[in-house]
Amino acid sequence: MNNRNHGRLRSGGAVTALTLSAALLAGCASTPESPAGAASARSNLEALQNDPELAGRARVERREAETAVRLAEAPLPASEGGLGAHRVYMAERKVEIARATATTAYTEEQRQRLGEERDAARLASRTEEADRARREAASAREDALQARRGEAELQRQIEALEAEATERGIVLTLGDVLFASGSATLQTGGYENLNRLVDFLERYPDQAVLIEGHTDSVGSAQANERLSQRRADAVRDYLARRSIGERRLSARGLGEGRPVATNDTAAGRQQNRRVEIIIENPRQMSGLGS
């Protein structure tokens, strides 16, 4: 009798130890981490701060860059990956603005120094050097201005689209206003959103676009996958008809496999019936604000 009781106690202790171990592992898995790319932003900022020609210049912009980099380095849980990617992007832009502003100040000082040192005997040889410094100063000023404009313009366009900047890129989610129940034919009520998307894509002609169709769990999984593919294809075909190059566009149906809400309620099912349009990450875009 005592041996059996002792065996039960040992088994119970083992189960408890396994439970505690599982809880500790779960806790570790959810430990917040700094977003990918934050270290690169920090490295670029430190390179600017250690540059002997630029370190003492653009103090305001460098403080703004330091604040943005610190925010980007703040650990976030895995569920906040989109926010982390956006913070890293903003930090990179702030560092670029600080470098361009510091370069402007440096080249302007160089130009003034050359002007003060110039005399009659050296005028001919120094003229080209001063002109080059002026050109570099003007170019640096323009770069800084374009960086600021591009940052503001991209943010405005994302807000106008009612989209979200994520680690996958810019994600535009269109609900079931696009299609009637069980149909893959576009409704006229969804054209306004799609036309705003067309305007955005025309500004960035090199960005790839992925269109993903999603459904709720009503009906068979196979039928839902076919329906989601037809809906994604319908959006792709509409964009192609509006002169968005077909080579930029790809479409796939994911059926009910990636719900964003519960399928146990009507409201949840409505959220799951959607088309997501993912535009290539804005950090890879060129010609911002052009």
Please count the other Cβ atoms lying within 10 Å of the Cβ belonging to residue 41: 25
* Residues 260/272, Cβ–Cβ less than 8 Å: yes
Is the separation of the CB atoms in 197 and 209 below 8 Å? Answer: no
Residue 206, SS3 per DSSP: coil
Residue carrying the six token digits 């702030």: 94
Q: Other C-beta atoms within 10 Å of 151: how many?
A: 18
Separation of alpha carbons 186 and 276, rounded Å: 15
Give strand ranges (E) for the chain: 164-166, 169-174, 209-214, 249-253, 274-279
List the domain boundaries for the chain.
38-161, 168-284
pLDDT in tens, 93-124: 999 998 999 899 899 888 888 777 766 666 66
What superfamily in CATH does domain 168-284 come from? Answer: OmpA-like domain (3.30.1330.60)
3-state secondary structure of 100: helix
- List of residues 6+ apart from 255 with CB closer than 8 A: 214, 215, 221, 224, 225, 227, 228
Kind of pairing between the strands at 209-214 and 164-166: unpaired
- Nearest of 94, 100, 39 to residue 65 by alpha carbon: 94
Looking at residue 120, the DSSP 8-state letter turns out to be G
Contact 254, 214 (CB under 8 A): yes
Question: What are the pLDDT tens digits along the chain (290 aa)?
Answer: 555 555 554 555 444 444 444 444 444 445 788 888 889 989 998 998 898 988 788 889 989 989 989 998 999 898 888 888 898 899 899 999 989 998 998 998 888 887 777 666 666 677 788 788 888 888 888 878 777 776 666 667 677 677 888 888 899 898 877 888 788 888 888 888 899 999 989 988 888 999 999 999 999 999 999 999 999 999 999 999 999 999 999 999 999 999 999 999 999 998 899 999 999 875 544 444 44
β-strands 249-253, 209-214 pairing = parallel
Predicted pLDDT of residue 289? 40
Q: Which residue type does 77 have?
A: P
Question: CA distances (Å), 28 to each of 25, 32, 87, in order?
Answer: 5, 9, 24
DSSP string, 48-89: HHT-TTTTTS-HHHHHHHHHHHHHHHS-B-GGGHHHHHHHHH
What b-and-e string marks burial along 101-132, b requiring 16 or more CB atoms within 10 Å of the CB?
bbbbbbbbebbeebeeeeeeeeeeebeeebee
Tell me the per-residue pLDDT of 180-215, one tens digit each, with 9 for 90 and over. Answer: 878 888 888 888 889 999 998 998 888 899 999 999
pTM greater than 0.95: no
Side-chain-side CA neighbours of 16 within 13 Å: the count stands at 6
Using alpha carbons, select from 106, 93, 116, 114 the residue that is nearest to residue 139.
106
The CA distances from residue 205 to 21, 208, 243, in Å, are 52, 8, 11
